[in-house]
């Protein structure tokens, strides 16, 4: 139980009390869920990768967004995380393409431009059909 709680605490947004509640819930009431959870984690670990074009999470070289021929290739939306991409996609309002930075600048945490895949973003921005880039980063100091 201690090892499970310690691992759960390492996840964002889960503190010691939440980790303990989740651990007890899994061990006492949802024990049948544990093998499925373990299998899903192993599958994600071995199969999920970054999209070659936009850095979104994908099991294929191109994610579903980049693989679609229905996207407006003249608009590029730059977001911080795959969760941000999903939130925008769920609205159904944006039909352009995406680029996922996989974080934000945070010098105190040792995260500089090299960690944000800027080297992959620059060629995307140089594509001839691109006419608009939308920066949809968080409205925090780091996002700006």
How far apart CA 117 and CA 70 sit, in angstroms, is 25
In the chain, residues under CATH classification 3.40.1360.10 are 50-135
For the whole model, what pTM was predicted? 0.80
* DSSP H or E run through 96: strand 96-100
pLDDT of residue 40 exceeding 80: yes
Residue range 50-135 forms a domain whose CATH class is alpha beta
What pLDDT score was predicted for residue 144? 62
User: Of the candidates 25, 21, 19, which has an alpha carbon nearest to the alpha carbon of residue 7?
Assistant: 19
pLDDT in tens, 44-56: 999 999 999 999 9
Q: Compute the average pLDDT of residues 65-73.
A: 94
Domain boundaries 1-47, corresponding CATH code? 1.10.8.420
């Amino acid at each position: 139980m201690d090892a499970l709680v310690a691992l759960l605490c390492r996840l964002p947004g889960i503190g010691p009390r939440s980790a303990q509640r989740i651990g007890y819930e899994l061990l006492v009431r949802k024990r049948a869920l544990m093998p499925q959870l373990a299998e899903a984690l192993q599958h994600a670990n071995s199969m999920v990768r970054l999209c070659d074009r936009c850095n979104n999470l994908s099991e294929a070289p191109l994610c579903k967004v980049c693989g679609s021929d229905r996207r407006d290739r003249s608009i590029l939306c730059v977001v911080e995380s795959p969760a941000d991409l999903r939130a925008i996609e769920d609205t159904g309002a944006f039909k352009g393409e995406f680029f996922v930075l996989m974080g934000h600048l945070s010098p105190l945490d040792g995260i500089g431009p090299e960690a944000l895949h800027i080297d992959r973003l620059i060629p995307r921005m140089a594509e001839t059909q691109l006419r608009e880039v939308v920066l949809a980063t968080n409205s925090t100091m780091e996002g700006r």
